[in-house]
Amino acid sequence: MEKNFDLIIIGGGPAGYVAAIKAARKGLDTVLVERDKVGGTCLNRGCIPAKAMLHASDLYRELLGSRPFGIKAEETSFDYGGILRYKEETSESLVEGIKKLLKANGVTLTEGTGRLKAGRVVEVTGPSGEKELFHGERILLASGSEPFVPPVEGRDLEGVITSDELFALETLPESLVIIGGGVIGAEFAQIFSGLGSRVTVIEAMDRILPGMDREISQNLKLIMKKRGVDIRTSTQVEKIERAGENLRCLVSHKETREEIEGQYVLWAVGRIPHTEGLFDEGLNIKMEKGRIVTDERFMTGEEGVYAAGDITEGIQLAHRASAQAAAAVAFMTGQAPEADLETIPSCIYTEPEIASVGITADEAKRAGIEADTGKFIMSANGRSLISKEERGFIKVVAERKTGRILGAQMMCARATDMIEEIGTAVSNGLTAAQLKRTVRPHPTYNEGLGEALEDLTGEAVHIAPGKRR
């Protein structure tokens, strides 16, 4: 016999669990179907574990470099097993918190793999193979994504891994070849090089972080190389083979061929939507490039069936997935979404942090928008000098005619926290003059944002007149 619900959600990641809580608070009888742990990739195998390990690695590196602060820590060491326990405890604490929130809000949590069938029926296959049928007035597909592994010869060799397997390693790799110099590759390069692994990054494009501001890419490359990371750009991996106890990557760079060895090879070339087995054939759910197509209300072509998060078109970010899911629930209940889904910040948790929102000056130019850029080099920021931060800057882009903020790119300490102010400005059409009305406390990293805003009109105090822009 089918169990009936107002809303059935398949997938308990940042899209699914947020939608479940939002829906329950709006009075919908909601069931959340999750085959593994709530929190999805983000909490269990992605964002949170990676940031926990980044924090541990950065802390270790800072201790080793603490002499300029008058602190002697030459005998500092680390316990890799302890770092892994810290990572797991952090994730488990958040997962348990979400489970308690689901229960407190009256959400039914069901363990199993959900498959959508005709008539808005979801078949749930439990851990032991038992099957159960649920019927929903509405369905939300939010099954997330998984690491992408290109069809390169040698991809199935032992030691060729994705981020999922990397997190499960119980010993620190002596050497690691990372294929992919995007966000995932950059963060893992920092984690393991900071802990002493020999790290090589191979990127097919002409620079790492190819989707970010070019100056950010250039600066991060210099910083990473200074820390011992070997970075190869414009380089293609043609084959992976066994080389004794190591793995060998046969790569090509322009007209040259080379061999690069490492104990492990990590695929970090992005993620693909997890849609295999998600719904029956014959349903009116359109796919494009492996992703589910939705309308502006996040509804698929199948009446009453919605989709949100990594399985839909666009950048794959946890906060975007949560915002989409909340918007979908709002549409289901006849309300307008609260968040501006066109203004999604991107963050990279390297050291220094990197964050961007809106558009760059180059993108404004390509769109035919006359814009000005205000820039502040953070080496002149008091807080940055105190903490001896490495190369960093803040850029703010504003429309020339109106002063309206169009976007910002930051590479500095606390960039991932500060970017929200610019996101608010972009979403609400605020101008540089309006943002400049705020008096920023001293000494803070955020003073650099104020200086970048003032540089738009040539008024920045801590920039020499001949060095503006």
pLDDT in tens, 379-417: 999 999 999 998 899 999 999 999 999 999 999 999 999
Instruction: Give me the residue label for tokens 């964002």.
Output: 47
Does the annotation flag 310 for ligand binding? yes
Residue 469, pLDDT > 50, answer: no
User: What pLDDT is attached to residue 404?
Assistant: 98
The whole-angstrom separation of Cα 403 and Cα 401 is: 6
Q: With cut-offs at 50, 70 and 90, classify the pLDDT of residue 457.
A: confident
- Amino acid (one-letter) located at 233: T
- Amino acid (one-letter) located at 374: G
Does the annotation flag 448 for ligand binding? no
The whole-angstrom separation of Cα 19 and Cα 327 is: 9
Residue 465, pLDDT > 80, answer: no
Please indicate whether residue 55 is annotated as part of the active site: no
Does the annotation flag 421 for ligand binding? no
Does the annotation flag 29 for ligand binding? no
Chain segment 255-304, per-residue pLDDT in tens: 899 999 999 999 999 999 999 999 999 999 999 999 999 999 999 999 99
The whole-number average pLDDT for the span 359-365 is 95
Q: Which residues of 254-285 are buried (b: 16+ CB within 10 A; e: fewer)?
A: eeeeeebbbbbbbbbbebbbbbeebbeeebeb
Does the annotation flag 126 for ligand binding? no
- For residue 435, give Cα distances in angstroms to 141, 397, 451, 452: 39, 13, 11, 11
User: What pLDDT is attached to residue 466?
Assistant: 63
Residue 453, pLDDT > 90, answer: yes
The whole-number average pLDDT for the span 167-177 is 96
Catalytic residue (choose from 253, 274, 319, 442): 442
Surface-to-core class of residue 1, CB atoms within 10 Å of its CB (0-12 exposed, 13-18 middle, 19+ buried): exposed
The whole-angstrom separation of Cα 68 and Cα 382 is: 16
Other CB atoms within 10 A of residue 359 CB: 19
The whole-number average pLDDT for the span 68-82 is 93
Share of the chain above pLDDT 90, in %: 95
Residue 468, pLDDT > 60, answer: no
Does the annotation flag 202 for ligand binding? no
User: Among 268, 326, 265, which Cα is nearest to 298's?
Assistant: 326
Q: With cut-offs at 50, 70 and 90, classify the pLDDT of residue 197.
A: very high
Residue 14, pLDDT > 80, answer: yes
User: Among 143, 129, 126, 138, which Cα is nearest to 31's?
Assistant: 138
User: What pLDDT is attached to residue 467?
Assistant: 52
The whole-angstrom separation of Cα 258 and Cα 248 is: 10
User: What pLDDT is attached to residue 29?
Assistant: 98
Does the annotation flag 276 for ligand binding? no
Residue 213, pLDDT > 80, answer: yes
The whole-angstrom separation of Cα 29 and Cα 34 is: 17
Average pLDDT, the chain: 96
